[in-house]
Chain A
Amino acid sequence: MSLSTADVQKVARLARLAMNNTEIEAARSQLSGIFELIAEMQAVDTTDIAPMSHAQDLSQRLRADNVTETNQRELFQSIAPQVESGLYLVPQVIE
């Protein structure tokens, strides 16, 4: 299967990865090779086969709805790129 330049640009945008034209072309060629490998799956008849999303067929464990975490804001913000007054700073998004 061959991907188009537009396909790769769309995926890069969805994945939030900045890529220039040279990178898009390189990715297009490599991803096309990988999708050729993946295409082997398409010939398999999987009618009536239930998808397997997990190694163990277990139901989700539940717990009581109690607060179990302690507040560690200062510790966690000490490793953030940019904080101020206990808030994470990002470029302005609301006018």
Chain B
Amino acid sequence: MINATLKQLGVALRAKQISSVELTQLYLDRIATHNPVYNAYITVNAKTSLAQAAAADTLLAAGDAQALTGIPIAQKDIFCAQGWRTTCGSKMLADFIAPYDAHVIEQFNRAGAVNLGKTNMDEFAMGSSNETSYFGPVRNPWNPKAVPGGSSGGAASAVAARLCAAATGTDTGGSIRQPAALCGISGIKPTYGTVSRYGMIAFASSLDQAGPMARSAEDCALMLNVMTGFDERDSTSLQRDKEDYTRDLNKPLTGLRIGLPKEFFAEGLSADVGSRVAEALAEYRKLGATLVEISLPNTRLAVPVYYVLAPAEASSNLSRFDGVRYGYRAPEYTDLADMYEKSRAQGFGEEVKRRIMIGTYVLSHGYYDAYYLQAQKIRRLIAQDFTDAFEQCDVIMGPTSPSTAFNLGEKGDDPVQMYLSDIYTIAVNLAGLPGMSIPCGFGDNTMPVGLQIIGNYFDEARMLNVAHQYQLATDWHSRAPL
């Protein structure tokens, strides 16, 4: 049962082969056993989860079930869920009980899904290894010495270790795709504006986008069906008709044009990752696709541009944490300014403070044009590269991450080394395009390798089709670490 897909679980629940309470308890037991090692969850609330499961069983008994009714889903601890502690991986929100539901949480509640718990993450989603969490690092189920990636590291670890049926993540610079790659699971960041950001704690608002992390592309499609939709409370939510993301899963890939950006296969890519990606591309040729070399000439600028724009937006978004209305307040202070400065200094971790300082600097008087404005201009060049590339191809493929999972502490104290590990994912966020990662084998250290699939705007159904057809022909996605 723990290896079942969401579709299989739905069938089993509706056929009364298992109840939602039994399924939820099964996962809660697994969390109790394995979470002390993986640290994938920050908060579990068995009583609440089981009450939701019992309600789902009532719906199932009445024949009112939808696709995900009764299925236990892990929620990244960046989504406010009413009555649940919602920490965003920070001491700043260590005791914050959310007073309302994020849109994503509402959507899962409406679908009758069970909230299985809140997953660990890099503090305020700032990190690529899950080592910046105030609640301790998450371990990779394929090797507990290795990181799971980040920032949605808890979600990726929980899905891989079978500590949930599927999970939610968020992706500002690669935070769904990179941990999905490092933990050997499937994850998709949809087009910017597709999933509402309401109640999702903000990092960089022009880049943040939520999406599913699951064991297959088909499961991602079912999750996306629940997560997407217009929400007037998010000013950047797009008014589009509701889509069924499973509609194209079974289309053949004959004639599919796959663009290979030459910049993604250059210096910096580990040989083993390069080989697995090449093998995946060979499989796609067998499935009827043709490969086209393309160029994304501004790829190398994506990291510097991102480390201006994302911190700039973060410094603004995180100014709300001042110890007044909610969140951490320092125990001792002399006056109001001192209270702000000490609450923020004590409540935020090192990486968050670093990014707030970068952002404050690039937005400060005299530097705005040279940094922030210049970065926004290059952002347009990067987006234009993709527009040009999609003239020649239907999807773009390449590695998700330059290497497989590295060990905890391995990147040390040099933030620049960590930032460079997101080289292939960041440009997708800057352009606002959908991006996906699926497992395509194992590296020299027997750790999973991820294949990145980048689509044109609103082309998620095609990307899921492309991923699903590969998963019908291969079994990398069904390999389990345990």
A residues near B (Cβ < 8 Å) are 3, 7-8, 10-12, 14-19, 27, 30-31, 33-42, 44, 46, 49-56, 58, 60-61, 63, 72, 75-76, 78-82, 88, 90-93
Contact = CB atoms under 8 A, between A and B. Distances in A.
Given A11-B361, A30-B415, A54-B206, A81 B376 contact: no
B75 to A, nearest CB: 19
Interface string B349-392: 00001101110111010000011011111111101000000000
A60 B235 contact: yes
A88 B324 contact: yes
B480 interface: no
Nearest to A56: B193
Q: Which 9 A-B pairs have the closest CB atoms?
A: A55-B432, A51-B376, A81-B329, A55-B192, A46-B377, A52-B380, A18-B341, A18-B345, A15-B360
A41 B375 contact: yes
B300 interface: yes
A7 B324 CA distance: 28
Contacts of B238: 56, 58
Contacts of A34: 307, 354, 358, 415-416, 419
B304 interface: yes
B354 A30 contact: yes
Contacts of A39: 304
Given A11-B360, A17-B345, A55-B192, A76 B325 contact: yes
B419 A37 contact: yes
Contacts of B324: 80-81, 88, 90
A37 B303 contact: yes
A82 B329 contact: yes
Report whether over half of chain B's contact residues are helix, strand or loop; otherwise say mixed.
Answer: helix
Contacts of A60: 235
B232 interface: yes
Contacts of B329: 81-82
Nearest to B361: A11
B415 A91 contact: no
19 contacts: A11-B361, A15-B357, A17-B357, A30-B415, A33-B416, A34-B358, A37-B416, A38-B362, A41-B305, A42-B374, A46-B374, A50-B380, A55-B430, A55-B432, A56-B238, A61-B235, A79-B97, A81-B323, A81-B327
Interface string B409-429: 000011110010000000000
B220 interface: no
Contacts of B236: 54, 56, 58
A90 B342 CA distance: 14
A23 B374 CA distance: 29
Contact of A33 (B323, B379, B414): B414
A34 to B, nearest CB: 6
Interface residues of B, number: 71
Interface string B321-340: 01111111100011111111
Nearest to B346: A18
A79 B100 CA distance: 12
Contacts of B181: none
Contacts of A75: 99
A41 B370 CA distance: 9
Contacts of A90: 324, 336, 339
A41 B374 contact: yes
B304 A37 contact: yes
B357 A11 contact: yes
Report whether over half of chain A's contact residues are helix, strand or loop; otherwise say mixed.
Answer: loop
B315 interface: yes
A17 B371 CA distance: 22
A50 B327 CA distance: 39
B431 interface: yes
A38 B307 contact: yes
B108 to A, nearest CB: 22
Contacts of A63: 232
A75 B430 CA distance: 37
A10 B373 CA distance: 21
B308 interface: yes
B319 to A, nearest CB: 8
A16 B322 contact: yes
Contact of A51 (B333, B339, B364, B373): B373
Contacts of A81: 323-324, 326-329
Contacts of A36: 416
Contacts of B328: 81
Contacts of B300: 40
Contacts of A54: 206, 236, 432
Given A37-B419, A41-B308, A55-B192, 10 more contacts: A11-B361, A17-B344, A18-B338, A33-B416, A37-B304, A38-B308, A41-B305, A44-B301, A49-B381, A61-B232
B406 interface: no
Nearest to B335: A91
A90 B291 CA distance: 62
Given A11-B364, A17-B357, A90-B339, A53 B206 contact: yes
B96 interface: yes
Nearest to A88: B324
A39 B381 CA distance: 17
Nearest to A80: B325
